[in-house]
Amino acid sequence: MALTYVAIATTTVGSGGAANIEFTSIPATYTDLLVKLSARQDAAGTNGQFQMRFNGSSSTIYSRRKIYGDGASALSNNGSSENAFQYIDVPRIDATANTFGNVEIYVPNYAGSNNKSISVDAVTEQNGTTAYAEFYAGLWALTAAITSITLIPMGSGEKFAQYSTATLYGIKNTV
């Protein structure tokens, strides 16, 4: 079975940063979705985090399991009954200059009538200590088709930095 990737939309953050990155009006014509993100946040510190919501929902129907390494230790955490998929890591402005973290978010069967699962593969990409590599699995306990995805930096007033870029791909199985 061959897979076809179609770029649905791309967003590049402009001057001044962005409080979120959002993909709306996602058509239900694909099998799966993939978000590729190259990002950093504009707040002080080396490691920042963002959260993701489907269809604008902030109901407590998100759960997750995260395993990650920080260059010295292997760690994990989890959460249930949360209002978003939380704690996905990207570098902040005090990390290596002009270096962006990379994140892939895979959403299988996004238009189906079952609860929606996700998997995330992310690295914070910096030349210092405490750079993170992480794998993340989550469940959105709602059966509605996903029509929008919003990425939101965590922390009061935090933004995605200029030149952060996200592309949403639709994936089709073809024979």
Q: What is the pLDDT of residue 28?
A: 95
What does each C-alpha distance from 21 to 35, 80, 125 come to in angstroms?
11, 24, 20
pLDDT at 102: 96
Question: Which parts of the chain register pLDDT below 50?
Answer: none
Using alpha carbons, select from 138, 132, 64 the residue that is nearest to residue 101: 132
pLDDT at 129: 67
For residue 173, what pLDDT is reported? 77
The CA distance from 104 to 4, in Å, is 17
pTM for the model stands at: 0.94
Helix (H) or strand (E) run with residue 66 in it: strand 62-69
Q: Alpha carbon 81 to chain centroid distance?
A: 18
Range of the domain at 57: 2-174
Please give the pLDDT value at position 115: 97
d(CA 168, CA 33): 7
How far apart CA 52 and CA 87 sit, in angstroms, is 9
> What CATH number is given to the structural domain containing 168?
2.60.120
Number of domains within the chain:
1
| Phi, psi (degrees; rounded to nearest 5) at 174 | -125, 150
